[in-house]
A and B are shown apart, each in its own frame.
Chain A
């Protein structure tokens, strides 16, 4: 465990891609099987432990620490695993002082802060293999004690690595692809060759290492339903449209759902393998059993996951109820039926179609889906237009341009060159997204909170408010919180503003100065509004972000709550977003 812990600790500080590959390759070269194989599994995200989840870690910590101190620490560090790794104390350490309630405040040790050496035999430091095996086999009830034993035995880096492993979030800037590249470098192979055999393999990958090191044959077994990296679009700007020829493009709606790839294929035994991948290639089949069942074909489809009720596309808020669920209940399947609205077809009956022009693939897609006759799968319709002006009209009012009642679930248009092949990544030119304009509101900064992760020293999360009539005259009421949309340079200035204008502090939150004649106006962009009983103002914003910092604008000229009320009342589609009051 220690070697692995130090590897990922070092990689975490290493910004250089090649140096990361070198560090990993060096580790693989000098670490025996099966230890290195489990490390590779961890680096590629191939490990998942059923019972070992963040909740368990929080529970363990709650037994050993004061909840207030833990809360403050977590908020400061911003990362659960690291907080616990830093705070964790072996029970012996706390012995000298009597506990107060169930709270064992850590107690001073020697002057350097190192744990006092324990009497008797040192605790056994687990290897990575032991940890992986233990996590896989331990039952739900024995897991907490097992984990606590390991945490007691490991040092801070080891604890951190163990907890990162359990929560499946190493986040050390290593993609699965980069780890495979490091493996490939052991034997001067192309990383793609690793990809080809990858899906037939399982941790600890002993045959893979034997092959790349020239000690064994190429592993058997191709992935019958591989993930094909999706093609993505750039946002289109006015000046782009000016140079683009509308006649060369086709347009379709941009649905406000989740982009998915449905891939199927037959394995060596002729069995149909069905997989649903997220945009980043994560296998999310488990979350959508209803949709998986509908994949009774051999093809790869690119589309949007939507929830349809009585043929009507539901809002993203409804879709959210289906996401991030560990268990999908029958009730959920019934109430939130998953639907795939297809944009593209990448392969059909084993034939790779990605080199074909979009117009061609589109015909194949329409024919394929028609033949399929599966109610859960349909094709995203094209939006007819001959000039950009016409498309702009359709984009501003999708309801009248054919989308009807589904217009609420449309977040703009996609422009695709009719002759574009399907290229992985985000090539500039063939595909564009033309999103609906956001709503804008001028609000006043009221509170700021330190960010998390690499922003933990910056006040980067801003609560902002608009004016309303209060019992004692005009007052600001908070309407939302934003933590993006600004540049690093602007963040420095905002952070400085917060520090220089603090009037109150509540833990990590600072209240800044605001009023009619003082305060900072933020132009906030957002995608929509909902009524909310949770918030004092009665509204909740969707995806608010800082559009502009209005250093020039007096706070008294910021917007009023009535402006937001109007947006709510008129509905998103009726009020042109850019035409704002004042």
Chain B
């Protein structure tokens, strides 16, 4: 009998688990054997027994957590098919950040792809995403709403360069995630011909050096010395998102606060962070690319790990593709908070690896075997602005 996808990959309190190979993918708590898609701290955590990942991802984990980040580590070569237990495993580029990979798991005639985080937009700092035909595609949905359409990232960095030219008396402080986004912004600035030094907050330094060692050309990127700040009028400074509103940023001359993120597409979010120059640059797929990628895999079934699951599941169902949300907690959160906060500023780890773990169990109750149709009621949102104190019923409503 043919292998069923649900047997090939299941959910445990630690996350996605492959019984045939006895390993987890991007587990949110320490496990014996972990396959890691990429180096962001919500996917790559320390403390596992054995870790398999691309060489770059392993190196990033070592940079972040120290060389003893796991009991043992094994490099996965992109495109190379490996046998683990009863299953075949292949790592394929995901285009998210340097070293990011999708993980293809096969048994019998059933092929399943755990895409991790991925994007289709051009990025000079990493290998591009490669579509893989499969039966089940496991996708994120960080920007899984049709309001998210990322513009060309080059136009966004042009805005930054233009603003720096227009306001030579002001420093431009750009918030960007320390792994991937920061280096992509720098690379795009260089491509656009920006040849001034790009100043770095201390928290960006180690990973930026690592990118340079890997051959990504980022030019002169000095670290900002504290007493130098008042002198950086007209310069571009890159810092973790959390730093743009800290006292650290106020010491610059009349700073223009910019933030490079897909969230900047929504005005309220930019304003709420006090951002004056929103740069819509994302390392995730926008809505169009999520939909396109799902179609290109030819998958008959889609599992959505995290983000705006409801909309993407609905879109799949309306196209006749089976789909279900996994409601995995601990990844990104739907606000991308985990990416913002991972203690990168001080080089620390996520404070609690258990974050969301216990609630994940409570919510799963039977979700494993849930028929797709029973998910339908979850899709009905309460009408916006509804003043009714009655919440949507867990049973699926209809009684309101």
A residues neighboring B (CB under 8 Å): 12-15, 65-66, 68-69, 71-79, 82-83, 86-87, 100, 103, 105-109, 111-114, 446-447, 449, 452-457, 463, 478-481, 499-509, 511, 513, 534-537, 540-541
Is the beta-carbon distance between A108 and B289 smaller than 8 angstroms?
yes
Segment at the interface with A among B3-11, B48-56, B187-195, B375-383: B375-383
20 contacts between A and B (CB under 8 A): A12-B267, A68-B380, A76-B145, A76-B147, A83-B147, A86-B266, A108-B289, A111-B289, A113-B121, A113-B289, A456-B272, A478-B389, A503-B362, A503-B363, A506-B392, A507-B382, A509-B392, A534-B390, A535-B389, A537-B389
**Interface-forming stretch among B33-41, B132-140, B314-322?**
B314-322
- Known A13-B275, A113-B286, A457-B269: A504·B363 in contact at CB below 8 Å: yes
Complex CA–CA separation, A406 to B117 (angstroms): 63
* B391:A76 contact, CB within 8 angstroms: no
Q: Give 9 new A-B contacts, CB below 8 A, not counting A13-B267, A455-B272.
A: A15-B276, A112-B150, A112-B151, A446-B391, A499-B333, A502-B356, A506-B381, A506-B392, A507-B379
A30 to B362, CA, bound (A): 61
Docked-complex contact A504 and B394, CB < 8 angstroms: yes
Q: For B146, list chain A residues within 8 Å (CB).
A: 65, 69, 73, 86-87, 105-106
**Which A-B residue pairs are the 4 nearest by beta carbons?**
A108-B292, A112-B152, A86-B147, A447-B391
The proximity string for B residues 250-290 relative to A, scoring 1 for CB distances below 8 Å and 0 otherwise, is: 00000000000000011111111011111000000011110
Compute how far the CA of A352 lies from the CA of B289 in the bound complex, rounded to whole angstroms: 65
Q: Are A535 and B269 in contact (CB under 8 A)?
A: no
Q: Could you tell me the distance between the alpha carbons of A513 and B277 in the complex, rounded to whole angstroms? A: 39
Min CB–CB distance B130 → chain A (angstroms): 14
| Inter-subunit contact B310/A507 (CB<8 Å) | yes
In the assembled complex, the Cα of A480 lies from the Cα of B311 at a distance in Å of 28
* Closest chain A CB from B286 CB (angstroms): 5
Interface of B is mostly: loop
Distance (Å) between the CB of A527 and the closest chain B CB? Answer: 15
A-B contact count (CB 8 A): 184
Q: Mark B110-136, 1 if CB is under 8 A from A, else 0.
A: 000000000011100000000000000
Q: Known contacts being A74-B384, A504-B363, is A13 close to B335, with CB within 8 Å?
A: no
The residues of B that contact A452 with a CB separation of less than 8 Å are: 268, 384-385
Cβ of B308 under 8 Å from chain A: yes
Question: Does A456 lie within 8 Å of B310, measured CB to CB?
Answer: no
Q: Are B266 and A71 in contact (CB under 8 A)?
A: no
Contacts of A541 in B (CB 8 A): 389
Which residues of chain B are within 8 angstroms of A456 by Cβ–Cβ distance? Answer: 266, 268-269, 272
| CA distance in complex: A366, B319 (Å) | 72
Q: Is B78 an interface residue (CB 8 A)?
A: no
User: Which residues from B are CB-within-8-Å of A83?
Assistant: 147
Assembly CA distance A504 to B30 (angstroms): 24
Q: Does B327 contact A (CB under 8 A)?
A: yes
CA distance A455 to B269 in the complex (A): 8
**Alpha-carbon separation in the docked complex, A103 to B314 (Å):** 12
Are B271 and A13 touching (Cβ within 8 A)?
yes
A481 near B363 with CB under 8 A, answer: no
Closest to A108 in B: B292
Instruction: Say whether B60 faces chain A, with CB atoms less than 8 Å apart.
Output: no
Query: Contacts A77-B268, A100-B318, A113-B149; is A481 near B389 (CB within 8 Å)?
Result: yes
Q: Given A66-B318, A113-B289, A478-B390, decide whether A73 and B359 contact each other with a Cβ distance below 8 A.
A: no
For the complex, give the distance between the alpha carbons of A551 and B148 in Å: 38
| Residues of chain B within 8 A of A537, CB atoms compared | 389
Residue pair A72, B308 in contact (C-beta under 8 Å): yes
Interface contact B315-A69, CB-CB below 8 Å:
yes
Complex partner residue of A77 from B266, B378, B388, CB under 8 angstroms = B266
Q: Find out whether the CB atom of B384 lies under 8 angstroms from the CB atom of A71.
A: yes
A86–B289 contact, CB under 8 A? no
Chain B residues with CB below 8 A from A14, complex form:
276
Q: For the complex, what is the distance from the CA of A371 to the CA of B292, rounded to whole Å?
A: 76
A111 touches B269 (CB 8 A): no
CB A479 to nearest CB in B, in angstroms, measures 7
A449 CA / B392 CA spacing, docked (Å)? 11
Q: Which residues of A contact B289 (CB under 8 A)?
A: 108, 111, 113
Contact B120 A111 (CB under 8 A): yes
CB distance from A256 to the nearest CB of B (A): 19
CB distance from A503 to the nearest CB of B (A): 5
Of B121, B271, B276, B389, most A-chain CB atoms within 10 Å = B389
CB pair B149–A86 under 8 Å, yes or no, is yes
A112 CA to B148 CA, complexed, in Å: 12
Instruction: Enumerate chain A residues within 8 angstroms of B275, measured Cβ to Cβ.
Output: 13
Residues on A with beta carbons closer than 8 Å to the beta carbon of B382: 75, 449, 506-509
Query: With an 8 A cutoff between CB atoms, is B291 at the interface?
Result: yes
Choose among A71, A87, A511 the residue that contacts B381 (Cβ–Cβ < 8 A): A71
Query: Contacts A77-B147, A103-B318 known; A108 to B391 CB distance under 8 Å?
Result: no
Q: Which residues of A contact B359 (CB under 8 A)?
A: 500-503, 513
Tell me whether A105 and B272 are in contact in the complex, defined as CB-CB below 8 angstroms, given that A72-B310, A76-B147, A480-B389 are known contacts: no
- Report how far A507 CA is from B270 CA in the complex, Å: 22
B387 at the interface (CB under 8 A from A): yes
A511 to B335, Cβ gap below 8 A?
A: no
Contact of A107 among B288, B378, B385 (CB under 8 A): B288
Cα A447 to Cα B359 in complex, Å, equals 15
Distance of A500 Cα from B354 Cα, bound (Å) = 10
Residues of chain B in range 307-342 having any CB-CB distance to chain A below 8 Å:
308, 310-311, 314-315, 318-319, 327, 329, 333, 335
Which residues of the partner chain A approach B152 to less than 8 Å between Cβ atoms?
112-114
- Cα(A454)–Cα(B151), bound, Å: 23
Q: Say how far A561's CB is from chain B's closest CB, in angstroms.
A: 13
Q: Which of B267, B286, B382 has the most C-beta atoms of chain A within 10 angstroms of its own C-beta?
A: B267
Which one, B120, B148, B381, B394, contacts A508 given CB within 8 A? Answer: B381
**Are A113 and B150 interface neighbours, CB within 8 A?**
yes
Chain A residue at minimal CB-CB distance from B382? A509
Residue of A nearest to B377 (CB): A506
Q: Which residue of A lies closest to B270 (CB)?
A: A13
Bound Cα distance from A105 to B275, whole angstroms? 31
Q: Are B379 and A87 in contact (CB under 8 A)?
A: no
CB distance from B145 to the nearest CB of A (A): 5
Q: Provided the pairs A73-B311, A504-B394, A507-B381 are in contact, do residues A108 and B363 lie with their beta carbons within 8 angstroms? A: no
- On chain A, the residues within 8 Å of B392 by CB distance are 506-507, 509
Residues of chain A within 8 A (CB-CB) of B267 are 12-13, 79, 82
CA distance A406 to B288 in the complex (A): 60
In the assembled complex, B61 has its CB within 8 A of some CB on chain A: no
Tell me whether B153 is interfacial, beta carbon within 8 Å: yes
Taking a contact as CB atoms under 8 Å apart, the answer to whether B391 and A511 are in contact is yes
A321 to chain B, nearest CB (A): 17
Q: Which residues of B contact A507 (CB under 8 A)?
A: 310, 378-382, 392
Shortest CB-to-CB span from B274 to chain A, Å, is 8
Which of A82, A109, A453, A478 is B288 in contact with, Cβ under 8 Å?
Answer: A109
